[in-house]
């Protein structure tokens, strides 16, 4: 009998019993990945693949190295470790670490291939050699994806090949969403999810494929399933909220990111999960909880790799969404000398906006000069990449706000419309809005002040299409519709706002406003 058949393993991981989680195998899902490794090495290998499917890359690498220790000639164990060093959705790749892992198997490509006893395993090795071979990252990513497509065509029953092929499609545009490629990936993993509803990679990639406001309803079933498929993977708990956030399901955004961040709240550090959690608190109208959370992240700022940038982003989201322009968090000194231009631009923008709202036109003007200088001095994008438009949009918004402050509402509207055109031209993104003050929401507010409520209503509706159930956009829609003589739309907006603010701080002015409007309705 062939080694592949002898080595067929299904990693069915049981639910926790009454005992502690540490005494149980982690619950990560179920896959079927035939290998020719030694029997003792197969369990850690399967655990590594399951972790890889949930983007738990560090734990996956350790599992693959354990498989290597138990069977030093197990070719796919080295393949697996090499795969932990490429993160297609995040546009990250550590080629040196991956090549070092492969070289521990054997010194040359041919020698490594000879270690794989089956044609299928040889095909996996061939693909990873392409991924970490010669050429630019974009060229290698494309060639690797083509190789995985050939592997799927050659071994059509191999579900793991389909999942890794779909993941390669998500990375073809170097971290930028390309809707046709994303939908193509979704079609591939949907077949796997239907065949194996407990497959973590299939559920995970369906979420990634659909996590924008337009397609998010298609990913809701996968989102509801994934946290149950892999409850012991923190990323699985968070990942569900890519769909929940895109649909404005704020209670689920909060509960799942609390789970993903860990039970010890004092140990939470600023990163992806805790940032989304803070944004969820803000949309729920839980401003006091959001501020306590922000303070904790500031205290733990230096304990994570991008902690300072994340805290600056969270501070901007807090100030913009609460409209607390004199918040004490604005006095925090955060060293952003080494962060991305986008992060520095967001921080500069919120400082200028807050100064303007406090009536300090001169300070806002100085900060505009700083932001414009940052944009002029940005390095050109790498070959094949487009310029990040978020800093440009923020500069344009700030110019518009200064025009508004100077009484030039016509100029402010024109400049903000240019900002909306830039934002509309950007690929759809997931998560909290990259433009911390969404341009359609800002335009709606400016138009409302200019006495054009019908036009403002249209802008708030557009803002909500891009960020469903965002609280400030709902509040703006209610105000604009009421002023435009459309009480039915205003009532719907205010009612929806009250629903998402069911656990909010009771004294929020917007909540009082919504309640008063609805009480006056017949």
The model's pLDDT over 99-158, given as tens digits with 9 standing for 90+, comes to: 999 999 999 999 999 999 999 999 999 999 999 999 999 999 999 999 999 999 999 999
Instruction: State the Cα–Cα distance between residues 497 and 283, nearest whole angstrom.
Output: 9
Q: Are residues 53 and 184 in the same domain?
A: yes
Helix (H, G, I), strand (E, B) or coil at 235: helix
CB hemisphere CA count around 476 (13 angstroms): 30
Instruction: Output DSSP code: residue 474.
Output: H
Verify that 266 and 119 share a domain, yes or no: no
Give the pLDDT score at 15.
32
Question: Which among 284, 299, 324 is the end of a domain?
Answer: 324
Say whether both 317 and 363 belong to one domain: no
Residue 122: inside a domain, yes or no? yes
Instruction: Using the 3D structure, point to which of 417, 437, 457 is the last residue of a domain.
Output: 437
pLDDT at 77: 98
pLDDT band at 254 (very low <50, low <70, confident <90, very high): very high
Question: pLDDT averaged over the chain?
Answer: 93
- The confidence score (pLDDT) of residue 440 equals 98
Of all residues in the chain, the percent with pLDDT exceeding 70 is 95
Q: Which residue has the tokens 């297609």?
A: 88
Task: Note the Cα 29 to chain centre separation in Å.
Answer: 22
Same domain, 296 and 406: no
Domain count, the chain: 4
Strand partners, 392: none
On whether residue 21 sits in a domain, the answer given is no
Residue-level pLDDT at 18: 29
Q: What is the pLDDT of residue 401?
A: 98
Whether residue 49 is contained in a domain is answered as yes
307 with 355, same domain? no
Q: What is the band of 5 on the pLDDT scale with cuts at 50, 70, 90?
A: very low
pLDDT over threshold 80, residue 86: yes
Does residue 173 register a pLDDT over 50?
yes
Task: Give the tens place of pLDDT for each residue, 174-222.
Answer: 878 889 999 999 999 999 999 999 999 999 999 999 999 999 999 999 9
Residue 419 domain-assigned (yes or no): yes
- pLDDT > 50? residue 361: yes
Q: In which region does residue 285 sit, left (phi positive, over 0), alpha (psi from -120 to 50) or beta (all else)?
A: left
Residues 184 and 92 in one domain: yes
- For residue range 233-246, what is the model confidence (pLDDT) as tens digits? 999 999 999 999 99
pTM: predicted TM-score of the whole model, two decimal places: 0.91
306 and 280 within one domain: yes
CATH number of the domain enclosing 521 = 1.25.40
pLDDT of residue 522: 77
Q: What is the mean pLDDT of residues 83-90?
A: 96
Q: Residue 268: which residues within 8 A CB-CB, separation 6 or more?
A: 261, 262, 274, 293, 296, 297, 300
Q: pLDDT, tens digit, for every residue of 292-331?
A: 999 999 999 999 889 999 999 999 999 999 999 999 999 9
221 domain residue, yes or no? no
- pLDDT value, residue 175: 78
- Per-residue pLDDT band at 389 (split at 50, 70, 90): very high
**Whether 312 and 392 share a structural domain:** no
Give the per-residue pLDDT at 1: 33
Instruction: State the pLDDT at residue 231.
Output: 95
- Do residue 160 and residue 290 come from a single domain? no
Compute, in degrees rounded to 10, the torsion defined by CA atoms 25, 27, 28, 33.
50
23 CB-contact burial (10 Å; exposed 0-12 / middle 13-18 / buried 19+): exposed
Lowest-pLDDT range of 208-217, 256-265, 411-420, 422-431: 422-431
Does 458 lie in the same domain as 424? no
Does 461 fall in a domain? yes
What pLDDT is recorded for position 87? 96
What pLDDT band is residue 428 in, cutting at 50, 70 and 90?
confident
Beta carbons within 8 Å of 342's beta carbon, 6+ residues apart = 388, 390, 391, 434
Over residues 448-457, the pLDDT tens digits come to 999 999 999 9
Same domain, 404 and 296: no
Residue 521 has what pLDDT?
Answer: 86
Residues of the chain with pLDDT > 90, as a percent, come to 90
Tell me the pLDDT band of 382, cut-offs 50, 70 and 90: confident
Element containing residue 271 per DSSP (H, E): none
Cα–Cα nearest to 436, from 325, 357, 309, 343: 343
In a domain? residue 240: yes
- Please give the residue range of the domain that contains residue 491: 449-522
Residue with token string 């080295």: 78
Residues 61 and 197 in one domain: yes
Query: pLDDT category, 22, cuts 50, 70, 90?
Result: very low
Across-strand partners of 93?
Answer: 86
pLDDT tens column, 96-116: 999 999 999 999 999 999 999
Which are the contacts of 312, defined by CB distance < 8 A and separation ≥ 6? 334, 336, 339, 343, 346, 347
Q: What is the pLDDT of residue 16?
A: 29
Has residue 280 been placed in a domain? Answer: yes
């Amino acid at each position: 009998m062939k080694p592949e058949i002898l080595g067929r393993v299904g990693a069915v991981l049981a639910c926790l019993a009454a005992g502690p989680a540490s005494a149980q195998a982690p619950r990560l899902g179920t896959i079927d990945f035939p290998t020719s490794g030694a029997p003792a090495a197969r369990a850690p290998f399967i655990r590594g693949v399951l972790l890889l499917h949930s983007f738990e890359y560090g734990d996956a690498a350790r599992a693959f190295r354990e498989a290597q220790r138990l069977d030093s000639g197990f070719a796919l164990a080295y393949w697996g470790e090499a795969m932990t060093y490429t993160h297609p959705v995040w546009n990250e790749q550590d080629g040196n670490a991956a090549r070092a892992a492969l070289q521990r198997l054997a010194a040359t490509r041919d020698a490594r291939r000879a270690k794989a006893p089956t044609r299928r395993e040889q095909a996996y090795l061939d693909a990873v050699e392409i991924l970490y071979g010669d050429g630019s990252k974009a060229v290698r990513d494309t060639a690797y994806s083509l190789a995985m497509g050939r592997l799927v065509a050659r071994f059509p029953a191999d579900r793991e090949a389909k999942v890794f092929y779909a993941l390669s499609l998500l990375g073809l545009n170097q971290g930028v969403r390309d809707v046709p490629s994303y939908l193509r990936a979704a079609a591939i993993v949907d077949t796997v999810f239907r065949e194996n509803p407990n497959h973590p990679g299939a559920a995970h990639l369906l979420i990634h494929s659909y996590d924008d406001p337009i397609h998010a309803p298609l990913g809701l079933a996968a989102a509801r399933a994934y946290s149950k498929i892999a409850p012991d993977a923190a990323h699985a708990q968070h990942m569900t909220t890519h769909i929940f956030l895109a649909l404005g399901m704020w209670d689920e955004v909060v509960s799942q990111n609390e789970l993903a961040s860990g039970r010890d709240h004092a140990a939470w550090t600023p990163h992806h999960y805790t940032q989304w959690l803070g944004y969820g608190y803000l949309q729920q109208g839980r401003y006091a909880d959001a501020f306590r959370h922000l303070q904790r992240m500031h205290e733990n700022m230096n304990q994570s790799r991008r902690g300072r940038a994340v805290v600056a982003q969270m501070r901007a989201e807090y100030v913009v969404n609460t409209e607390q322009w004199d918040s004490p968090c604005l006095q925090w000194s955060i060293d952003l000398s080494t962060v991305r231009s986008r992060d520095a631009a967001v921080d500069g923008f919120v400082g200028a906006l807050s100064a303007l709202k406090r009536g300090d036109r001169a300070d806002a003007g100085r900060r505009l000069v700083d932001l414009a200088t940052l944009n002029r001095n940005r390095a050109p994008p790498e070959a094949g990449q487009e310029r990040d438009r978020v800093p440009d949009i923020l500069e344009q918004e700030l110019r518009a706000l200064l025009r508004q402050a100077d009484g030039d509402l016509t100029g402010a509207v024109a400049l903000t419309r240019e900002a909306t055109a830039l934002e509309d031209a950007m690929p759809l993104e997931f998560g909290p809005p990259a433009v911390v003050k969404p341009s359609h929401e800002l335009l709606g507010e400016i138009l409302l002040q200019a006495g054009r409520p019908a036009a403002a209503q249209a802008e708030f509706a557009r803002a909500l299409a891009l960020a469903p159930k965002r609280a400030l956009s709902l509040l703006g829609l209610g105000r604009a519709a009421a002023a435009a003589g459309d009480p039915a739309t205003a009532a719907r907006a205010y009612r929806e706002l009250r629903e998402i603010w069911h656990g909010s701080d009771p004294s929020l002015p917007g909540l009082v406003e919504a309640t008063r409007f609805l009480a006056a309705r017949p």
